[in-house]
Amino acid sequence: MAKSQQESSSVWQRRVLDGVGYGTVLATLAVLFFFLVLPVSVIVSRAFMKQGGFTLQYFPLLFQNELLMSAIWNSVLVGLVTTLVTTLVSFPLALVNTKLDYRGKSLLSGLLLVPMVMPPFVGAIGILRFFARRGSINLGLMDLGWIDRPIDWLGPENMFWAVIVLEVLHLYPIMYLNLSAALANVDPSVEEMATTLGVPKWRQYLDIVWPLARPGYFAGAIIVFIWALTDLGTPLLVGYHNTIPVQIFNMITDVNENPVGYALVCLVIVLTVTFFLISKLALGGKKYEMMAKGHVSSGQKRASPLGTVLVYLLVGGIAFLALVPHLAVVITAFSDKWFMTVLPEHYTLDHFKAVFSTDLSVIGIKNSFLFAGLSTLADLILGLLIAYVIVRKLIPFPALLDSLVMIPLALPGIVLAFGYVVTYSDTALDPLHNPIPLLVIAYAIRRLPYMVRSATAGLQQMSVSLEEASTTFGASRFHTLRKITVPLVTANLIAGGLLCFSYAMLDVSDSLILAMKENFYPLTKAIYVLFLEQGTGELVASALGIIGMLILTVCIMGASLLLGKKMGELFRS
């Protein structure tokens, strides 16, 4: 009798597990279909349809349009140059911090991640003030007698490089985290063996370290490239409007009258997928396995006094440059009576007071907390279930589900936002009437990979025997999940949740495109609209940007403390 009850219980538990596994898969597929596959499919289909029939008319029109072709070339160039410069900045940093130990390493390593707390969209506000023709930089150089007349740093011929600098200063931490994680996993004994055999150090880096770290590099490089290629906010504020994202943003209002926009968005999808596949093919068929993973402490050497000075110059110099946009925004936010002087004559808190007395900024803060909170809750529930299914292998081919969930990392936000407007216009989800559902869904879809990666890391470190022991003593699967599994991975869930929340708070593409009425504006849309206002709009926008930066700082620091060196794993495509 007892054996029969035990078998019955086992069958019931197996059915519950199957239900959780396949139910999670179905829910994931439904979400991804309606809010990822369907919008993209609608865009692609409309790029090839005219009056109910198949056509290729829009693509020749696109390629014959000199303005749009120039925008395409400019955006691809921004992506490529940003990726190249980011590599040149990040690789030495990752190499130094992985191979050397020096005094103050923790502080400087932390400063290197500071750019993650503010998107270049906000940093552009301060940079515009500092590098204007009569801005702080030109006035300072003229006071020193180094130049006779102002340099047009942000003129038409220099806007491209202004965008590149802002993108690099914001995105290099993602490359740095991926490279650091990859280099830390290189078994030090491999290099020691090469040294014993007389292989020169430069040859070791070329033939051993670089091939082994290549997967981590490409994981970061593809995200940096796609991010820079499709970033809307930075070129929009800098004034470099001849890029794909800005052109798509301008086409939103007349897309039905100008269907070439469909062809342009379709081309963006092709570009991002192509470069994504190239990064995968670059690794395809190659083995990067080692007998053991490296340990950072075991492969580190103590830097000499001269080496320490050189490290301070390298790491400290890059950290300082990365902080320039932040400092520029901070000074702008506190400035008072700042005209034809290097720095403000006085400082004030009036702009921060104006933030909380201006309806638009208050609406932006409240809406962003609401939208980001709801999207994070959705990510938390769905991300935990997906990670549990993947790690515990509750379905066949769990790796396929893992790859499916990572797709939003390769798909630009501006494509999704454009797809939502086209697909759900004149429906119950029409963003013109109420964009809240689509904003929450867009935020959640694009940050879901971070939550899945974070929860997966926690579950992989947790022994399944703990869950088995609980069920052996009669606990139900849901009771075990609630009392055993979730408490043991709470730190990972909080870390993933903080990242999802913070990046949703300062999302640019979805917010600028989907929020069409003032009472629905999120934080970034409020910053953009305030920035365009004459008078003190720029100053209030800077103060609002500082508030957003503080929120993101707390979230990123919390996630970094909880995840430690696994932080870079969240930014893998």
CB 31 within 8 A of CB 382: yes
Does residue 290 carry a pLDDT above 60? no
Residue 254 structure tokens:
């007349």
- Check whether 144 has a pLDDT greater than 80: yes
**How does pLDDT run across 355-388, given as a tens digit for each residue?**
998 899 999 999 999 999 999 999 999 998 888 8
Q: Does the structure show a pLDDT above 60 at 439? A: yes
Residues 235 and 163: beta-carbon distance below 8 Å: yes
* pTM attached to this predicted model: 0.81
Pick the CATH number of 57-344 from 1.10.10.10, 1.25.40.80, 1.10.287.980, 1.10.3720.10: 1.10.3720.10
d(CA 521, CA 55): 37
CATH superfamily entry for domain 1-56+349-573: MetI-like (1.10.3720.10)
Backbone angles phi, psi at 48, to 5 degrees: -120, 10
pLDDT, position 283: 59
User: If DSSP states are collapsed to H, E and C, what string results for 33-63?
Assistant: HHHHHHHHHHHHHHHCEECCEECCCHHHHHH
| CA neighbor of 375 nearest in space, from 285, 477, 302, 443 | 443
Q: Is the pLDDT of residue 95 over 70?
A: yes
d(CA 524, CA 544): 9
Judge whether residue 562 has pLDDT over 80.
no
Q: Which two tokens stand for residue 446?
A: 């694009």
What pLDDT does residue 297 have?
Answer: 46
Domain ranges of the chain: 1-56+349-573, 57-344
Cα–Cα nearest to 124, from 45, 234, 216: 234
Per-residue confidence (pLDDT) for residue 296, from 0 to 100: 45
Reply yes or no on whether the pLDDT at 541 is more than 60.
Answer: yes
Query: Taking 60 as the threshold, does the pLDDT of residue 164 lie above it?
Result: yes
For residue range 325-355, list pLDDT tens digits in order: 888 888 989 988 788 888 888 899 999 999 9
pLDDT band at 127 (very low <50, low <70, confident <90, very high): confident
Q: Is the pLDDT of residue 395 over 50?
A: yes
Q: Judge contact between 492 and 563, C-beta under 8 A.
A: yes
Closest CA to 84 of 202, 252, 220, 234: 220
| CA dihedral (31, 36, 39, 45) positive or negative | negative
DSSP string, 313-370: IIIIHHHHHHHHHHHHHHHHHHEES-SSSSS-SEE-SHHHHHHHHSHHHHHHHHHHHH
